[in-house]
Amino acid sequence: MRLQKSSLFKLKFINIYNFCKMKMIAIFSNKKLLLLRFLLFATVFSLAYTQEPIYNSPENADGNQNTKFLYGLAQAGLGFLNQDWTANTIDPLPPFTFLVKFTYKYIHHEYAFYLYYGLIMGLYVTSLFGIVNYVYRLEDSLTKILLYLAFFLSIHTVNLEFGTFDTAWHLHSGVAQQYILGAVLQPCTFGVFILLSIWLALYKRYYWAVLASAFAATFHPAYIFSVAVFTLSYVLFVFPKDSQKAIAIGFLSLLLVLPIFSYMYFTFPATTPAIKKQAIDIIVNFRISHHSIPEVWLATGISHLQSLVTIAGLYLIRNTSLFRILLIPFITAFYLTILQVILDNDFIGFIAPWRLSVFLVPISTALIIAAFVSFITKLVGKQSTINHVLVGISLVIISALTVQGFDKQIALFQYRGESTPMLNFVKTNKQAEYTYLIPPNSQQLQKFRLYTGVPIFVNKKSHPYKDTEVIEWHNRVIRSNQVYEPKRNRCQLLQQLDTDYELTHVVAEIENQFSCSFLTTLYRDRKYVIYTIQ
């Protein structure tokens, strides 16, 4: 009797397993279920990868949202940010600003931003899966699919560190600390549409491909160069067989990118050649040298390992159409990097052609994972027991990483740092016409504006793009830094700064306090002190 029950249970388990297996394979192979696959990817990956709070990122965070959201939130009416000097400089990202403004003003809930990013993450996973599936046919086997996803998720979430090389970051980011996916929604995350473009191009949907890539450039003009290179790759791929179609692809891409290119060209003209040159020099060498100067980002050695990953990925696909699409971007990034090392040209540093690596590295990583998975499943063959074990292990890994990510997400939203009490005081007591001077290099206070809704004089993180505004921003940063240098005549420098710009408050760290007769202590805690300027 017990034997019959055991056999019956085993039979039911097998039937359930086979049913789930058929449904999973259908989701990944049936084009009609592509939306379901996308939503599944978006849910699992976004929970595992996590997002940092927009207004209250941990104090060691990258903090790009504090720059990218500023214009939109100021225009939408967050606090008194519409009085902030940086928020009133010329906007370099009008589509993203519109998205932020519309969301804050009409949806009235910041969680919409997290939803947007979750969908972008879903597109990231879906596009990369589509690209590697073109080469390795992962969708033919449930074992392949789940093994690939387990490795893919691990690469993006499990921090295995080898010196300064972190597998959970450097295997999907580009060289020069540039990336598609980061801690928060920002314009660069729309680079996933270039991954989508590559996937579409593989299946000869070239017109849709250039539309997707142009969408990425519209939200982040820094991708205009990348779009041009990938479009050239598509054109050369098609040209030998159909020259008219190749020309049409190039023309359509130009037409689609023209609006954002025209905006950047006519909105940010050179005031004079000398002023423009000075502004670019400030941005390249003072503000973003870690992005723009190869000697800086090559020195870490991380980019060398990322280059090896890219070369390995290209070698795996050397006999495929994907190789022909990726080869021109790789050659372009490689030779322009060498050219920049030789010439040390600020314009090349400004456009950063090595940004192409933000697409090449994650694609290559995904290809290496897919190749490894294909090797394992080929080795195992049709041995059902081992396949069942691999499926089980994969599901456990995926589930564990998702639960771990969800737990981490909760902790991030509950985060309270050393600056939180001071920021809460400023937020609660803000009034119109207040302008705070804060330490301009402080990473902990990058979120000051978005968290409090109060204008600041300047910080080093958030810079404008109009040449005259860049120079003014640079002067503000230099003068602010001088005020906070202990060995200088700080009171005199601060008083002169107040005379020129009409400041109202000063924030300082406890170990770097001021003792000026015209300052009155308004707030003090273990970390910060706030002064009112009399």
pLDDT digits (tens, 9 = 90+) for 27-59: 665 666 789 989 999 999 999 999 999 999 887
Q: Give, to the nearest 10 degrees, the angle between helix 321-343 and helix 302-316.
A: 150
pLDDT at 384: 83
**How crowded is residue 385: how many other Cβ atoms within 10 Å of its Cβ?**
8
d(Cα 457, Cα 444) in Å, to the nearest integer? 16
Answer for the pair 259, 251: CB distance below 8 angstroms, yes or no.
Answer: no
Residues 6+ apart with CB under 8 A from 394: 143, 146, 147, 149, 150
Residue 520 sits at φ, ψ, to 5 deg, of -120, 130
DSSP-H helix ranges across 381-460 = 384-413, 420-428, 448-452
Q: Say what percent of the chain tops pLDDT 70.
A: 94
d(Cα 307, Cα 173) in Å, to the nearest integer? 11
Q: What is the 3-state secondary structure (H, E, C) of 324-367?
A: HHHHHHHHHHHHHHHHHHHHCCHHHHHHCHHHHHHHHHHHHHHH
DSSP-H helix ranges across 137-179 = 142-157, 167-170
Instruction: Return the DSSP state at 509.
Output: E
pLDDT at 20: 58
Residue type at position 6: S
Which of 294, 289, 282, 273 is closest to 463 using CA atoms?
282
- Confidence bin at 440 (pLDDT 50/70/90): very high
d(Cα 152, Cα 39) in Å, to the nearest integer? 17
pLDDT at 30: 66
- Give CA separation, 93 vs 89, 124, 197, in Å: 12, 22, 21
pLDDT at 58: 86
**How crowded is residue 497: how many other Cβ atoms within 10 Å of its Cβ?**
20
Q: Give, to the nearest 10 degrees, the angle between helix 206-219 and helix 192-202.
A: 170
- Confidence bin at 383 (pLDDT 50/70/90): confident
Taken in order 34, 49, 147, 193, the sign of the CA dihedral is positive
pLDDT in tens, 57-103: 887 777 899 999 999 999 999 999 999 999 999 999 999 999 999 99
d(Cα 490, Cα 487) in Å, to the nearest integer? 8
Which of 176, 209, 207 is closest to 195 using CA atoms?
209
Lowest mean pLDDT among 99-113, 147-161, 317-331, 453-467: 99-113
pLDDT in tens, 284-294: 999 999 999 99
d(Cα 220, Cα 213) in Å, to the nearest integer? 11
- Confidence bin at 19 (pLDDT 50/70/90): low
d(Cα 122, Cα 511) in Å, to the nearest integer? 45
Judge whether residue 240 has pLDDT over 70: yes
d(Cα 305, Cα 310) in Å, to the nearest integer? 9
Give the angle subtended at the CA of 355 by the CAs of 351 and 361, to the nearest 5°: 170
Answer for the pair 460, 475: CB distance below 8 angstroms, yes or no.
Answer: no
pLDDT at 487: 79
CA 320 to centroid of chain Cα atoms? 29
Bridge partner residues of 440 (DSSP) = none
pLDDT in tens, 459-504: 999 999 999 999 999 999 999 999 999 877 999 999 999 999 999 9
- Confidence bin at 199 (pLDDT 50/70/90): very high
Residue type at position 185: L
CA atoms within a 13 Å half-sphere pointing along the CA-CB vector of 446: 22
Answer for the pair 470, 463: CB distance below 8 angstroms, yes or no.
Answer: yes
d(Cα 204, Cα 446) in Å, to the nearest integer? 44
Q: Which of helix, strand or coil describes residue 520?
A: strand
Average pLDDT, the chain: 93
Which of 43, 39, 49 is closest to 409 using CA atoms?
49
Please give the structure tokens belonging to residue 439.
Answer: 């330490």
Judge whether residue 16 has pLDDT over 70: no
Judge whether residue 167 has pLDDT over 60: yes
| The residue count for the chain | 534
Q: Which helix (H) or strand (E) holds 494?
A: helix 490-501
- Confidence bin at 317 (pLDDT 50/70/90): very high
Instruction: Return the DSSP state at 437.
Output: E
pLDDT at 71: 98
Answer for the pair 129, 137: CB distance below 8 angstroms, yes or no.
Answer: no
d(Cα 465, Cα 453) in Å, to the nearest integer? 23
pTM for the full predicted model: 0.94
Q: DSSP labels for 459-505?
A: -SS----SHHHHHHHHHHHHHHHHHT-TTS-HHHHHHHHHHHH---E
CA 297 to centroid of chain Cα atoms? 18
Q: Which helix (H) or strand (E) holds 416?
A: none
